[in-house]
Structure 1
């Protein structure tokens, strides 16, 4: 399975948002500056995350984005599915009751595809945003902080 830039950049942007939105909404511009992701691309990603109710937008002066749920309620799987769609690396019609497959009854490989799909989904669903924020803070502490107490990385 290979994630596109939507998943990779979107997850980075969401970690950034989680770190900086505790006190006030975070602007697309500030995320763009810290993460090196274009504002236009971030707007597209945030629209998808907003539709999935992972983020909320705040209008007006001092507006921006905040998390739509608590960090411990947002899994990496939630984020990646909102941005990428299905995470199943193998599309096998034999795994779907609706589609079916003429070889499904005798197909042993569908067992392998199901195990791979299940494993990926279980892994990304077990990693929560708050864990990634803590990991990011630890990396910043290891690397040193700026005077404002924010990560300089």
Structure 2
């Protein structure tokens, strides 16, 4: 029920809130730390800015910051920007049992996320320690293992020297 975009939006807000004491966070730094493309990140930040969850400033020293008190912003406030509820959608095509199940599941998700404040997920760092992204190539292949090098003589001449 929760889309990847909503999950990424919650991650973005937690990352911005974690750096609240150190100033604004740039888009490129967020993209690097969360391993998202800049265009994907901007498609998340624009609706958050439109709903006044984050604010931005351009230029040197610019970037994004959370608007307001972290304890007053629930995780549902963030997810609701990207998640339409069943009341907003037409669910007339669903059978009655499926509709009841989906209404109940949606209610549990909304209640759970509404009870969790953004401040519950933020760990304020005392020192700014940069987090290095793991070395992953473009195709996300696992690193190659070291080749096996034989420890035996390679030719007749080397064999005679080994004896």
| TM-score by shorter chain over 0.5 | yes
Distance 2:97 2:31 in 1: 47
Q: What's the TM-score, normalizing by structure 1? A: 0.71
4+ residue runs of structure 1 moved beyond 3 angstroms?
90-93, 107-114, 148-153
9-18 vs 115-124, which deviates more? Answer: 115-124
For 2:129, the equivalent position in structure 1 comes to: 150
For 1:76, the equivalent position in structure 2 comes to: 75
Counting only pairs closer than 5 Å after superposition, residues 3-152 of structure 1 correspond to structure 2 as: 3-86=2-85, 92-93=91-92, 111-134=100-123, 148-150=127-129, 152=131
**1:69-89 Cα shifts (integer Å, max 9, x gaps):** 21111111111111233377x
> Unpaired segments of 5 or more residues in structure 2?
133-163
The answer to whether the Cα contact below 8 Å between 2:74 and 2:116 also exists between their aligned partners in 1 is yes
The answer to whether the Cα contact below 8 Å between 1:21 and 1:65 also exists between their aligned partners in 2 is no
The alignment yields a C-alpha RMSD, in angstroms, of 3.0
Give the match's secondary structure for 2:80. helix
For 1:100, the equivalent position in structure 2 comes to: none
Q: What's the TM-score, normalizing by structure 2? A: 0.67
Distance 2:85 2:103 in 1: 13
- Count, aligned residues: 131
Deviation at 1:150, TM superposition (A): 3.3
For 1:96, the equivalent position in structure 2 comes to: none
Greater helix content: 1
Return the structure number with greater relative CO, CA threshold 8 A, min gap 6: 2
**1:60-118 Cα shifts (integer Å, max 9, x gaps):** 21111110121111111111111233377x9634xxxxxxxxx9xxx676554433322
> Unpaired segments of 5 or more residues in structure 1?
94-102
